[in-house]
Amino acid sequence: MSDDTLAEDTDVTMALHRAGWKIVYAENARAWTEAPGSMSQLWSQRYRWSYGTMQAMWKHRHAFFERGPGGRFGRIGLPFVALFMVFTPLLAPAIDIAMVYGVFFVDPYKSLLAWFAVLALQGFCAWWSFRLDREKAWYLITLPVQQVVYRVLMYMVLLQSWITALTGGRLRWQKLHRTGEVGLDVTSTEAVQS
């Protein structure tokens, strides 16, 4: 593990891809972690992840010119990371502004219909993902809140990360405040089987 970036897991994944290793999804893997307990902690965590991902992309930018697995990652993987982790989320405000503009100045019914159609498509994709992972679909009830709160938080975090990166600013680790409130009821037999 390298400490060159604030997203060491992203950095090591990119390094493994460049070295020709195969990264696989471990469907039955389990990990216990403590999530941020407040909006400010969530902001700090996502800011660190966002900025760290940009650092990892910058660190591995030369992969674009490499041959073999490193080059494939550089020409395919890095653009996908840039597109879906950096550029696309920054377009979210434009979509919201276009929807509000359409409601007030074009056709409110068509604009709202289009916006709800996009929400429905996102809902279907989320439901399908939950089904594939055998998760309870009940949790999808929070999807509208994600659209209003989490997405806005994420594009503000991304904007702050961009500004920090472009101005040459440095970001500290911003360690998450641990509360120890995570409850886990695991018997010793289950722990041994894991």
pLDDT at 108: 92
> For residue 105, what pLDDT band results from cuts at 50, 70 and 90?
very high
Across the chain, what does the average pLDDT equal?
84
> For residue 85, what pLDDT band results from cuts at 50, 70 and 90?
confident
pLDDT at 173: 64
pLDDT at 177: 64
In a domain, 119, yes or no: yes
DSSP calls for 4-43: SSS-HHHHHHHHHHHTTPPP---TT--------SSHHHHH
Q: Which of the two residues, 148 and 105, has the higher pLDDT score?
A: 105
- Mention every residue, 6+ apart, whose C-beta is less than 8 A from residue 126: 140, 143
Mean pLDDT of all residues in 34-39 = 82
In a domain, 31, yes or no: no
Q: Which of 24-33, 84-93, 176-185 has the lowest mean pLDDT?
A: 176-185
In a domain, 15, yes or no: yes
pLDDT at 193: 47
In a domain, 32, yes or no: no
pLDDT at 60: 95
Rounded Cα distance, 194 and 191, in Å:
5
Domain that holds residue 55: 8-24+37-173
Structure tokens at 18: 């460049």
pLDDT tens by residue, 164-186: 888 887 776 666 666 666 555 54
pTM of the model: 0.75
Q: Which of the two residues, 122 and 190, has the higher pLDDT score?
A: 122
In a domain, 98, yes or no: yes
Task: Examine the pLDDT at 67 and tell me if it is beyond 70.
Answer: yes
In a domain, 125, yes or no: yes
Tally of domains in the chain: 1
In a domain, 150, yes or no: yes
Helices and strands: H and E segment counts in the chain: 9, 0
Rounded Cα distance, 85 and 94, in Å:
16
> For residue 188, what pLDDT band results from cuts at 50, 70 and 90?
very low
pLDDT at 189: 43
Structure tokens at 175: 């360690």
pLDDT tens by residue, 109-168: 999 898 889 888 988 999 998 898 888 888 888 888 887 788 888 888 888 888 888 888
Please write down the long-range contacts of 150-153, taking CB distance under 8 Å and 24 or more positions apart. Answer: 151/89, 151/92, 153/39, 153/42, 153/43, 153/46
H helix intervals, 133-180: 143-145, 151-166
In a domain, 3, yes or no: no
Phi, psi (5° rounding) for residue 38? -145, 165
Tokens 């070295």 sit at which residue? 19
